[in-house]
Amino acid sequence: MVFRRKIYDKMFKWKNGHNGRTALLIKGARRVGKSTIVKEFAQKEYKSFILIDFANISKEVNGWFNDLTDLDYFFIRIQQFYKVVLHKRESVIIFDEVQLQPLARQAIKYLVADGRYDYIETGSLLTLKRNVKNIVIPSEETRITLYPMDYEEFRWALGDEVSMELAKSNLVGLHPFGDAVHRKMMRDFRLYMLVGGMPQSVDTYISTNNLEMVDEVKRGIIELYEDDFRKIDPTGRASKVFSSIPAQLTCNASRFNISGAVEGGRLENMESVLAYMEDSMTINMAYHANDPMVGMNLHRNVSRYKMFMADTGLLPRACLERSDKPRSYMRPEHIAGGSGDRAHAVL
């Protein structure tokens, strides 16, 4: 299922505002829906498009990026291979998972200068930063970030386009909702806290109305992230830190205890690991500010921080994964807070 996302308006603004002068680079964590939204945008806003998925590409096509001195020949070959006719200034070429072919990203400079077509790139921020050795990073990129679905996008996915507008109006006008409406809105919000904003999780909830199946989807995403962490840090420290987030948030400590996550871990020897994790956009770091006034970054204390999972729905799954209790004890109200009536009905 394709969901309505706020980033679509930013993409539309880029298309009409830049008119091919830059390529659009959409970055974000894995499984947040980058490829889906880009394909939807290309289908709706262009006469034709070609999507080159570097995670699933033939050696022949991949080799074309080694030499792009003859762009006319390149465009002829690409149209013949994908059996799509490209139209000048009415077509877009998509480089999906562009971090897997750095030469394609480097070629953006020359492709944009050619001016015939638009270009959209997608990739994980972490690997985009790592896979740039020996290439010239193009300055002809407009970069935007895609995050998991926020609460308003979640309500849109459930077919509710009224509640958030009503909430905004009441908040601006300082009008009370009333107890019954307030209770319902809080139950709906707890459902979002439980399901989360990963499009695959939301799609599973809508199609099955079964939180157990949603949990299975989220478990797969968590395992995917942990596998990625093991790739960037073979020592396993990043994976251990990620796995310890639920336990760290449960305790009353004022900061994340790195030694509690990794034996013998200290901030000075974990800085690169934490930087990789933050770049992956799978976590959110909340730093302590010694003076919480305007310009808090000026007073940020990098040695004191809390770490959260980037998607709220992954935390309940991680709690179940790490808990020694049977799953029947981990009721929704224990995880998300409150009554959890709607979640109980599903379970």
Over the stretch 263-297, which tens digit does the pLDDT of each residue have? 877 777 788 888 888 888 999 999 888 887 777 77
Give me the pLDDT at residue 131, please.
Answer: 62
Q: At what angle do helices 163-173 and 179-195 cross, to 10 degrees?
A: 120
- Asked if pLDDT for residue 159 goes beyond 50, the answer is yes
Confidence of residue 318 (pLDDT cuts 50, 70, 90): confident
Q: Write the burial class of residue 118 (CB in 10 Å: 0-12 exposed, 13-18 middle, 19+ buried).
A: buried
Q: Is the pLDDT of residue 331 over 60?
A: no
Alpha-carbon gap, residue 84 to 203, rounded angstroms: 30
Residue 264 has what pLDDT? 74
The encoded tokens of residue 346 equal 């599903």
124-133, 262-271, 329-338: segment of lowest average pLDDT: 329-338
Would you place residue 119 in the very low, low, confident or very high pLDDT band (cuts 50, 70, 90)? very high
What's the average model confidence in pLDDT over 304-309? 91
Mean pLDDT in residue range 227-243:
88
Classify residue 327 by burial, with Cβ atoms within 10 Å: 0-12, 13-18, 19+. Answer: exposed
The pLDDT value recorded for residue 342 is: 37
* Choice between 307 and 346, residue whose per-residue pLDDT is larger: 307
**Cα distances (Å, whole numbers) of residue 299 to 121, 134, 286, 294, 307:** 36, 36, 13, 10, 18
Q: Please, which pLDDT band fits residue 326 given cuts at 50, 70 and 90?
A: very low
In this predicted structure, what is the pLDDT of residue 299?
A: 81
User: Strands 118-123 and 91-96, how do they pair?
Assistant: parallel
Q: How confident is the model at residue 127 (pLDDT cuts 50, 70, 90)?
A: low
Residue 327 pLDDT exceeds 70? no
Mean pLDDT, rounded, for 40-58: 96
Q: Out of 218-222, 236-240, 302-306, 339-343, pick the least confident.
A: 339-343
φ/ψ of 122, rounded to 5, equals -130, 150
Residue 160: pLDDT band with limits 50, 70, 90: very high
pLDDT for 291? 80
Residue matched to tokens 């996550």: 261
Does the pLDDT at position 147 exceed 90?
yes
Mean pLDDT of 234-247: 90
Q: Looking up tokens 């996302």, which residue turns up?
A: 5
Q: Is the pLDDT of residue 347 over 90?
A: no
Say what the pLDDT of residue 200 is: 96
pLDDT of residue 329: 33
CA distances from residue 20 to 16, 68, 113, 313 in whole angstroms, order as listed: 9, 19, 9, 37
Question: Which is more confidently placed, 307 or 337?
Answer: 307
Q: Considering only residues 315 and 90, tell me which one the structure prediction assigns the higher pLDDT.
A: 90
Confidence of residue 3 (pLDDT cuts 50, 70, 90): very high
Which pLDDT belongs to residue 143?
A: 94
Residue 324 has pLDDT above 50, yes or no: no
The predicted model scores a pTM of 0.85
Q: For the chain, what is the mean pLDDT? A: 87
